[in-house]
Structure 1
Amino acid sequence: MKTSEIGQYVDQLLEMVIHQTIPKGPDRSSIFRLADEVHSSECRDKRVVIFGGGTGLSTVVGGNSRLDDWPGNPFVGLKEEFSVLDVIVCTTDDGGSTGLLLQELPMIGIGDFRKLLLSLVLRENLQRIYGLDDVLTRQIIRIIHRIFNHRFPNGFRDFRFVANPLLVVPRELRRYCPKDLASLLSSLGRYVSPGGEGPVIAPAGHCLGNLLLTAAIFQSDGEEGNSTPGMDAIEKGIDTLSQAIGVTPGCLHPATPTLGQLVLKYSNGVATRGQRKSALTRRILPIDRIFVEFCESPRVSEAVCRSIREADLIIYAPGSLYTSIMPILQIPSIVQAIRENRQALKILGANFWIQEGETDISLHSRNRGFHVSDLVEAYNRNIAGGSEGLFDVVLSANMEYIPGDVLRNYALEGKSPIYLDRSVVESLGVIPVEATIYSPERLNTASVIHHDPQKFALAVRALLVAHSRLNLKPERLTLPPLPAQSLDVPCSVSPPLCSYYKQMGLVLAEKQFSPKILRNTMQEMIWENRDIRIEHLKYFHAARVIPASRWTRSKEWDNVLGYYDPEDGILKIHKQVGNDPERIRENLLIALGESLLGRYLEGRRWVNPEEGNQWGARRYEIRLRSVENRQCFLDDGALRSYLRLARMMPSPHDPNTFGITLNDQEGFIPPGLLFGLLYAWYLNNSYGAVMEYEMSLLRWPPGKLIPYQLEERNRRQALVQFFRKVVFQHGE
């Protein structure tokens, strides 16, 4: 059978297995036989490895454990179909409670592990450990679900609920908690509470489950102080909780214990650090490349590599393409192990919907979101060696029977389905398969479409049976991968994120802020924009909100309400921004950017046009201070390069004088203000909104521009490259 015929044949098989839909065509009898075999086949002994992170991974493994109704049906999904299951989890999460932990401790992101610990709970394990019947098992599930998902509000300071986690459980449920489980949870809570042996972690903003898992990991580390836990400590900590709540020990693994953070590079050349930031910043541009800045060469346990090499089935769980799956495949030893396993069936689980900030804009067409083929090509573009040997089948959702009003509601939220473009996917050497793997119950009750863990597991079983009969190994990939040397894993020389946060705090502590709350705002702003280097904070000594009566900034050039005053070294914010946090942050960023130029100017002036000049031309000139008196982040060569990019040309008579000649109506942004605006825009285009208009030319393909526009586009592209390489010091 051809690849296209195999895909459509398996489509019918999956619909037959999941919904007992009677197939059409001459192959009805053979599909019936295969469907019967799926239901009768014993798959439990197959060795399965599944990669991912976030909600998608936990959902297909054992149901979405974040939902309030999960305890009513917790024993579903892949964990119920396969007894040998290794779950390998992305470790670059930096949002929410996990982000707060990363500010304090040298550790990997653990938020996804908390969700998976719940989703991986097995009935037989709980009953064997604690001698429970089915009724008591349900009560224990409700208890651990409540404890692990409980989130403390901002400002919460009562450590009693950490030292005794049962306090967050309704009183009528507490009596069902086994003493051994209650004792373990309390000991872990006390470990991270005042008077405990571990790091004290204030509960505000945290999930209680994250605090307990952190305690288990650092307690297992055995090192004094806040040393970085290695793989042994992390897995031992995970297994400590696994054993206590009914998860099979040894099945949940971090992709690497090596600390790192995600970097996304957009098609306009802007690169930005942080997984959470990718969801917050709306670039209105496709992502071109991603990589992880590891603090050192990423380590992987031999047990993880062995499980990959020996697997019968490798699954990439549905989830965020660039922030859940791709970071795992930035680790060379994991990719090598996947490719070395030539007998396993490799399944890519496609998402239902495009995701804003990640898959909402295709590199092939800026007017649409991703198709399934775009998912495959993204792996080819970002993984050394391309997508060759990574997957055989892509499993996509069949949206044929979704009511129109549901699709309309999703469209109003900016979500559209990820369309399965079969012929293109087949040309990439991957077999496309469609199945109704969403939950009709949630569709009927809540008008939402989520992966159904049981239907997904049944689809996987069907694919395994089909593979044993049809060999679902497609023809060789035809898309040429990028050269491997251009995708080497970068190693950052920067310290762990907690060290960055600590250094930032120490530098800001030396500066004066008025009002004092401005310090907290700036600290939060810098953490959200970790492309800001610690060195960037050295060129101002105070930040103040200035009343209108004392605002001396000229409005000749702009109406920006924040600037750096080189005369006194102060970041000044106009009181007009009031209590609007976003406006304060925007203007702080602009002022901070301006401060990097320091006292670079000795003087500036307008040169009067020559008498009788009929064109009304005018010239603006600046003169640079001597290098030793500039107090500037940029060295002399970088400063001169920037000025040229800002359209300021050096005088042929004086190398320290730069100028620009303008006609009477021509607009112009002085280089100091331009630097601040570009600094804010690069970090977050919603903060530098005025520059979003200026830089929108980068969205146009060069072939559609006339020569003048192309010249301007090239200049602006060079400005982005200057900020990426020189100011923020990103690699390629």
Structure 2
Amino acid sequence: MSEVDRELNSELPRIVVIGGGTGLSVMLRGLKEKPIDITAIVTVADDGGSSGILRSELQMPPPGDIRNVISALAEAEPMLSRMLQHRFSTGAGLAGHSLGNLILAAMKEITGDFVTGIKQLSRVLAVRGRVLPAANQSIVLKACMKDGRLIEGESQIPKAGGAIHRVFIEPSDVSPLDEALDALREADAILIGPGSLYTSIMPNLLVPGLSEMIEKSQAVKIFVCNVMTQPGETDGFTVSDHLQAIEDHVGCLHLDYVIVNDGPIPPEVENKYAEKGAKAVKLDLERVLEKGCAVIADKLVLHRTYLRHDANRLSEQIYKLVAGREEEKR
């Protein structure tokens, strides 16, 4: 939605989503079909694969999570979205890079600024909403493990083994985008997740000013919990453990709702995930309620190659919450 379109549709509920990774993109594919104004605030802590190479060689924020979100929100021809996601398998210097990452790198050089490049590419692809990096520079994510080790790099943290005590970002005084702060201030709803708790969600919340603005906002605040635990990040975590980890890092955000899956997972699928050390996230209802969060549980999973949130059912639950809140205001 262009700035002109946003003005014309100023009555639409304004939803800000925060995160990164595949889960966020899946949810956005459903949300873009609803009559809402979407702003996505996306992590810039990725340091692996194509994104890691480009951030190192071109001194730019990593484009991978931004690319995924642009692709999810694009209204352009499906083939253009497929092109963005195409990853080269051969070619010296090209193998491993996705075309979308290279285009974002080019747009950054053409416009002279990463954020401006994102805006221009979003316009070309008729992106439904705004896509904003959490900051206009790369962030290095580090983790203090409970055994005392210090792990550097978003891509290395899940591989370290052991339990995470705390993550933090460098530089610690990175500046958030003014547009991101404005979006949070004006939001009718703020969604945190789904996505990797420590490596996709936390890097956004740790940018100075963002979590404070979330807390100040009058928006309804919703946490979308992952369906499965993630080996090396949330081993053995319950729903309330996810909420506690956020509170331990940024203080209490006074979340209003937690959306969780209560749909069955086929035993053969559970066994497949168990082989990799992942289990279904358990809803410990009493502890979640003690934190002041209402719980919305629904059958929210689809199984193809991997378990994914059902974008349609998830977006419907979110839209009902937001639309109901807007009706109460009237």
Quote how far apart the aligned CAs of 1:335 are. Answer: 1.3
The aligned counterpart of 2:232 is 357
The secondary structure found in structure 1 opposite 2:174 is coil
* Equivalent position of 1:647 in the other structure: none
Q: For residue 106 of structure 2, what is the aligned residue in structure 1?
A: 215
Change in Cα spacing, 1:253 to 1:435, as seen in structure 2 (3 Å) is same
Residue 314 (structure 1) shift: 0.4
1:120 matched to 2:73: yes
Are 1:395 and 2:253 matched, yes or no?
Answer: no
Separation in structure 2 between the aligned mates of residue 356 and residue 470 of structure 1, nearest angstrom: 41
Name the aligned partner's letter for residue 404 of structure 1.
P
Q: Which residue of 2 aligns with 1:171?
A: none
User: Which residue does the alignment assign to 1:459?
Assistant: 317
1:693 equivalent in structure 2: none
Q: Which amino acid aligns with 2:229?
A: I
Partner of 1:153: 89
Following superposition, the deviation at residue 317 of structure 1 comes to 2.2
Which one has the largest radius of gyration?
1
Amino acid corresponding to residue 392 of structure 1 in structure 2: D
Percent of residue pairs bearing the same amino acid type: 33
Contact 2:176-2:208 at 8 Å conserved across structures: no
Structure 1 residue aligned with 2:62: 109
Change (3 A) 1:236 1:421: same
1:348 aligns with 2:223: yes
2: distance between equivalents of 1:44 and 1:317? Answer: 25
1:243 equivalent in alignment to 2:123: yes
Residue 149 of structure 2 is aligned to residue 270 of structure 1: yes
Give, as a single letter, the amino acid of the residue that structure 2 aligns with 1:346: K
1:280 and 2:159 matched:
yes
How far apart, CA to CA, are the structure 1 residues paired with 2:36 and 2:325?
20
Shift of 1:429: 2.0
What residue identity is the alignment partner of 1:348? Answer: F
Shift of 1:405: 3.2
Q: CA deviation at 1:207?
A: 1.1
1:316-341 CA distance string (max 9 Å, x none): 12110001111111122111211111
Name the aligned partner's letter for residue 460 of structure 1: I
Deviation at 1:240, TM superposition (A): 1.7
Paired position in structure 2 for 1:301: 177
- CA shift at 1:52, angstroms? 0.6
| From 400, 411, 414, the counterpart of 2:274 | 411
Contact 1:322–1:358, Cα closer than 8 Å, also in 2 = yes
Q: Is the 8 A contact 1:88 1:254 kept in 2?
A: yes
Tell me which of 65, 73, 81 is aligned to 2:34.
Answer: 81
| Alignment correspondent of 1:234 | 114
1:38-58, CA deviations, whole angstroms, 9 ceiling, x for partnerless residues?
A: xxxx99810110001010111
Checking the alignment, whether the CA contact within 8 Å between 1:47 and 1:82 is kept in structure 2 is: no
The answer for the alignment partner of 1:420 in structure 2 is 283
Tell me if the contact between 2:140 and 2:152 (Cα under 8 Å) persists in the aligned partners: yes
Q: Cα deviation per residue 1:227-274 (whole Å; 9 max; x = unaligned)? A: xxxxxx2221012211212214x7000000133200011111111110
Report deviation, 1:470.
8.5
Cα deviation, residue 152, structure 1: 2.2
C-alpha distance in 2 between matches for 1:469 and 1:216: 41
Specify the alignment match of 2:186 in structure 1.
310
Q: Give TM-score, length-normalised by structure 1.
A: 0.42
Deviation for aligned residue 1:469:
7.6
- Measured in 1, the distance between the counterparts of 2:268 and 2:19 equals 31
State the shift of 1:286 in Å.
1.5
RMSD, aligned CA: 2.2
1:291 aligns to 2:156 (yes or no):
no
Aligned match of 2:15 in 30, 43, 48?
A: 48
Mind listing any 5+ residue stretches in structure 1 that lack a counterpart?
1-41, 63-76, 127-139, 158-201, 222-232, 361-368, 472-732
How many residues are aligned here?
321
- SS of the residue 1:102 aligns to: helix
Return the letter of the residue paired with 2:260.
Answer: S
Structure number having the greater strand percentage: 2
Distance 2:137 2:306 in 1: 37
Residue identity in the other structure for 1:259: S
The 3-state SS of whatever aligns with 2:221 is strand
Specify which structure has the bigger relative contact order, considering alpha-carbon pairs within 8 angstroms and separated by 6 or more residues: 2
Distance 1:356 1:206, change over 3 A: same
| Cα distance in structure 2, aligned partners of 1:220 and 1:469 | 42
Q: Is the 8 A contact 1:43 1:461 kept in 2?
A: no
Match of 1:504 in 2: none
Write the letter of the residue equivalent to 1:314: I
Change (3 A) 1:270 1:207: same
Gaps of 5+ in 2: 1-8
TM (norm. structure 2) is 0.91
Contact 2:42 2:66 in 1 (8 A): yes
